[in-house]
Structure 1
């Protein structure tokens, strides 16, 4: 079984020293890579910039990228051969329209940045998904959580969405724990308690493998 996982943030450069990014640590995606590998899968982990060491499991191949464009190129090259796609990365929605060749110097009281939309990796690859492939997305929401997650499931052709709410204490970025709700394309909803991310990964992988045995 081949699994493609994206993890961590993306960094979109403004100039040689500055970037637009987010607080994703990559822990959830890395835990999923370890758990799938422990279940016997061959895992390709595409990681944005994180402070985590490459997973040591021999079944995991790690590829490091910086930007959303680099992450898309890496994922697109591997997607058709993978049985399972897991989009756990927090990809920047926008990037600077222009990257300055030199460090932007301080001048004036305000600085206006023009941003342009990044490619939506999961949605773009979702259009190419074959019936036997299984796609998992993540939704980190702050309001109308379930409605937003279900909308994402439909738009991006996911089979399963992992929803975490930033309103839940201990969930989301910069925590070693997570509290998730699994929403499935067939309408099934499963709510889990707050757990360490390693245990959350086991819950997700267990669900995916159970569905896959009935899928295709």
Structure 2
């Protein structure tokens, strides 16, 4: 049963619709990038610039996905670790990126190095996100403010209702103590005023 599921998963990954889907998404990204970069660089032919990048990215995406999927299937039997997947993506990216760049008129080595790094960093980022998702799976979701309060990088702390009540009680006690001190000072000033008034009357009568 497991072998059947593995074969089916591999067939789905290497099937023509899957490769075409990845190629189409890559072409859309290349078209967007080519259009933006063509405008920023003030290219005399922005449309041709966009189409060129779209073809380049589509060829890279399709060949990269096909090569990566076959390496994972034939070498790791679709049971690779996250680190092995990152290395496989780097190899597939380097080979497909170098060849496609050379066919498009660029240099082989720079293309292989750049796309190898893209494959490795992309797969590593996906692995990190997937690991974070698995670690937090089943935990109750928290709001953004709650996550900020729980972060050790932000000098804020989330308080429970009991802690909040205790802090309020401490503040109230401090305010009551200050009011008591002020009352004593007022009474002392009143006594001094009465004493001075009495002394003033005594001096006037004498």
TM-score (norm 2): 0.23
TM-score (norm 1): 0.23
Q: Which has the higher helix share?
A: 2
Is the radius of gyration larger for structure 1 or structure 2?
Answer: 2
Greater RCO (CA < 8 Å, at least 6 residues apart): 1
